[in-house]
Amino acid sequence: MYTKTSTGKEPKGSVSIIDSNSRLQLRFRYGGKRYYLSLGLPDTKINRKAAERQKNQIELDTAVSCVMRYSNSN
């Protein structure tokens, strides 16, 4: 679980779960671009858990992608 930095922003490489018009979205940056992934789910306790699993998977995928990119640069 990430905590916010002293500037109030999420740490680099993290994914935020946000409520947009009572629907859940994931917001993250990758490759210098900002992405919004709309889950289409209402903001409920159960759906927040589902969003958290998706968030964790995206964070893992982007971390692995960065490692693979650097390991293949030889």
4 vs 17, residue with greater confidence = 17
Tokens of 27: 């917001």
Task: Name the DSSP letter for residue 61.
Answer: H
Q: Compute the distance between CA of residue 1 and CA of residue 17 in angstroms, rounded to an integer.
A: 12
Beta bridge partners of 20: 23
Domain ranges of the chain: 16-71
Going by pLDDT thresholds of 50, 70 and 90, the confidence category of residue 12 is: low
User: pTM for this one?
Assistant: 0.73
Tokens of 10: 């999420």
Going by pLDDT thresholds of 50, 70 and 90, the confidence category of residue 46 is: very high
Q: Compute the distance between CA of residue 74 and CA of residue 72 in angstroms, rounded to an integer.
A: 6
Listed residue (15, 4, 20) closest to 53, CA to CA:
15
Mean pLDDT of 53-66: 87
Mean pLDDT of 38-57: 96
